[in-house]
Amino acid sequence: MALTLDSLDLVNPERYVSEGYPYAEWEFLRHRAPLFWYDRPNVRPFWAVTKHADIIAISRAPELFLSSRRFPFFVVPRSDEGEREQQLPVRNLLQMDLPEHRHYRALTSSHFTPRALRKLEGEVTAIARAIVDGLYARARGAPPAVECDFVLDVSARLPLAVIAAMLGIPPEDRATVLRWTNEVIGGADPEFQSEATPAETSLRAKDDLFRYFMELCEQRRQTPREDLVSVLVAARINGEPLPVFELMSYFHLLVVAGNETTRNATSGGLVALIQNPNQWRLLRENPAMLASAIEEILRWTSPVIQFTRTAARDLELRGQRIREGEDLALYYPSANRDEEVFEAPNRFDITRQPNPHLAFGIGEHVCLGANLARLELKAIFAELLRRVEHAELTGPIERLRSVFVGGIKHLPVRLTLRPTS
Amino acid sequence: MRIAVDLALCEGNGRCAGTAPELFVLGDDDKARVVNQTPPKSLREKALLAARLCPRQAITVVEET
């Protein structure tokens, strides 16, 4: 069925499950309607922003394109029209504008710089190694081979362990926290939906996380440690501690963002390498290309599908009149396939240089965890390349039902491991 | 041309210093400093690249006529 502007769909979570990202639709829009007013029944209309240059321009002007006017990632049904002003379920960096955003981000940004993260390198490498050791423990035959769900057994583990360690979440609580973050992001997915609706699931999980962190905060107030919970509990803005809602929301952000996205880049990266065996071979033969390969994995998988902004006033962009209060959805994976920026954008090429992808966004709200994500991805892929001889899919890729994060829920694979020396 | 780093935006990612060490240096405070605020035209491309690469978009390059 040929695409038309009137009929193409960007917001149905089902197609993200069955077909993955709507690359054809985004390409169509980039060429025909690069700034497209998406107006359909049952969806609050928004501007679909599909061009790399426009996402940069919008992201560079946080005073014109606000984050605080709406919850920045879920498609809002038209029926919620009157609820725009109601209290957001969380209030963290994603929902803040200047000047407040600057104050809140500064509370933790020093822990996410390349320099600060160098101190974590040893621990991250050790966790990656232990994950692959675990695969060997389950492997059978000669050469050793193991069948597993790559998401549960590999991808999900490293980001969870690292962000939990940074926050100060004890190991015995990690599985529970992982389940809650699955429910926050994947509330629309039947596997994670525990309440009557996706929104309810997400909200209940948020409440569970809030309650958990309240307790942890109390413990850290009594006995501070060198973790991010202790840092945020002790933090002061204009001499005042953080209000409880914003404090809990901050943890919510760190634990959800620290879990969901890197996991999906890892899973998607493995799929890309399986589907492009010449690239796997090239990387194995040239380990110095790892950093470049990670950037290409980020561009290719682009786990965050969209964040939104709201126009602060009437303005013009790409010859279109945007009105105050209108929402814009920034489609990062589309920017990462923009033909005007990337040569042969639909080719997975680990040697791609330069690689100015926007998987982490750009500007004021650029991903706080970008350097951490890179550290984790390098660690896990270095370990996999060193010790996995061959990987193949043994079943269908199960995708997350979400229009926000491009998730792979389950990735059944057989991994043939290099014999231990 | 004049180069400036917005220190309120800078978070010490160091892309600038990595791309153009002739122009930028990352201090111990995790803030970038411009080594030469009015560099020669020969470094124009590097300056513009560093500005494009900065994740926080903290670098401005003003070309003076």
Which of A381, A373, A353 shows the shortest CA–CA distance to A283?
A381
Q: What is the pLDDT of residues A201-244, one digit of tens each?
A: 888 888 999 999 999 999 999 999 999 999 999 999 999 999 99
- Which residues pair with residue A307 across a beta bridge? A330
What average pLDDT score do residues A172-185 get? 86
What average pLDDT score do residues A263-276 get? 97
Q: What is the pLDDT of residues A280-294, one digit of tens each?
A: 999 999 999 999 999
In chain B, what are the domain boundaries? Answer: 2-62
Name the pLDDT band for A42 (thresholds 50, 70, 90).
confident
Check B52 against A356: CB less than 8 A apart.
yes
Check B11 against A113: CB less than 8 A apart.
yes
Nearest-Cα residue of chain B relative to residue A369: B13
What average pLDDT score do residues A377-394 get? 97
Name the pLDDT band for A377 (thresholds 50, 70, 90).
very high
Instruction: Please report, for residues A132, A139, A144, A393, the alpha-carbon distance to residue A417 in angstroms, rounded to integers and kept in the order given.
Output: 9, 8, 5, 15
- Amino acid identity, position B13: N
Check B57 against A109: CB less than 8 A apart.
no
Residue A89: its pLDDT value, please? 81
Name the pLDDT band for A251 (thresholds 50, 70, 90).
very high
- Does residue A22 sit within a domain? no
Check A370 against B9: CB less than 8 A apart.
no
Residue A85: its pLDDT value, please? 46
Alpha carbon distance B1, B41 (integer Å):
7
The contacts of residue A281 (CB under 8 Å, 6+ apart) are: none
Least confident span in A44-48, A256-260, A362-366:
A256-260
Nearest-Cα residue of chain A relative to residue B53: A356
Q: Which two tokens stand for residue A158?
A: 């490293």
> What is the model's pTM?
0.94
| pLDDT surpassing 90 at residue A375 | yes
Q: What is the pLDDT of residues A98-152, one digit of tens each?
A: 999 999 999 999 999 999 999 999 999 999 999 999 999 999 999 999 999 999 9
Is B53 at the interface with chain A, CB within 8 A? yes
Domain that holds residue A185: 27-417
- Does residue A5 sit within a domain? no
Pick left, alpha or beta for residue A204 (phi over 0 → left; psi -120 to 50 → alpha; otherwise beta): alpha
The contacts of residue A396 (CB under 8 Å, 6+ apart) are: A412
Residue A259: its pLDDT value, please? 86
Share the mean pLDDT of chain A: 92
Residues of A in contact with B53 (CB under 8 A): 356
Residue A188: its pLDDT value, please? 65
| pLDDT surpassing 80 at residue A1 | no
Select the residue from A371, A372, A374, A375 to test the B interface by mutation, using most B Cβ atoms within 10 A. A371
| E-only strand ranges, A170-325 | 236-237, 240-241, 306-311, 315-317, 320-322
Contact between B47 and B20 (Cβ < 8 Å):
yes
| pLDDT surpassing 70 at residue A187 | no
Alpha carbon distance A304, A257 (integer Å):
10
- Does residue A282 sit within a domain? yes
Alpha carbon distance A264, A305 (integer Å):
12
Nearest-Cα residue of chain B relative to residue A355: B53
Alpha carbon distance A169, A213 (integer Å):
9
Q: Report which of residues A257 and A70 the model is more confident about.
A: A257
Q: What is the CATH number of the domain that holds A249?
A: 1.10.630.10
The contacts of residue A283 (CB under 8 Å, 6+ apart) are: A273, A289, A290, A293, A350, A385
Is the dihedral angle over the CA atoms A134, A297, A295, A309 positive or is it negative? Answer: negative
Alpha carbon distance A46, A328 (integer Å):
5
Task: Tell me what percent of the residues of chain B surpass a pLDDT of 70.
Answer: 98
Is B14 at the interface with chain A, CB within 8 A? yes
- Does residue A159 sit within a domain? yes
Is B4 at the interface with chain A, CB within 8 A? no
Which of B19, B14, B16, B51 shows the shortest CA–CA distance to B29?
B14
Name the pLDDT band for A197 (thresholds 50, 70, 90).
confident
Check B56 against A363: CB less than 8 A apart.
yes
| pLDDT surpassing 60 at residue A296 | yes
Which of A48, A31, A23 shows the shortest CA–CA distance to A320?
A48
Q: What CATH number has the domain spanning B2-62?
A: 3.30.70.20
Residues of A in contact with B61 (CB under 8 A): none
The contacts of residue A318 (CB under 8 Å, 6+ apart) are: A34, A35, A51, A54
For A20, the 3-state DSSP assignment is coil
Residue A402: its pLDDT value, please? 86
State the CB neighbour count (10 A cutoff) for residue A272. Answer: 19
Residues of B in contact with A114 (CB under 8 A): 12-14
| pLDDT surpassing 80 at residue A191 | no
**Packed helices A157-167 and A244-275: angle between N→C axes, nearest 10 degrees:** 150
Estimate to the nearest angstrom the gap between the alpha carbon of A196 and the chain centroid: 25
Task: Tell me what percent of the residues of chain A surpass a pLDDT of 90.
Answer: 78
Residues of A in contact with B57 (CB under 8 A): 59-60, 362-364, 366
Residues 18-47 of B with CB under 8 A from A: 30
Is A59 at the interface with chain B, CB within 8 A? yes
Contact between A34 and A24 (Cβ < 8 Å):
no
Residue A248: its pLDDT value, please? 93
Contact between A380 and A108 (Cβ < 8 Å):
no
How many domains does chain A fold into?
A: 1
| pLDDT surpassing 50 at residue A330 | yes
Q: Which two tokens stand for residue A87?
A: 């209290």
Alpha carbon distance B8, B42 (integer Å):
28
For A40, the 3-state DSSP assignment is strand
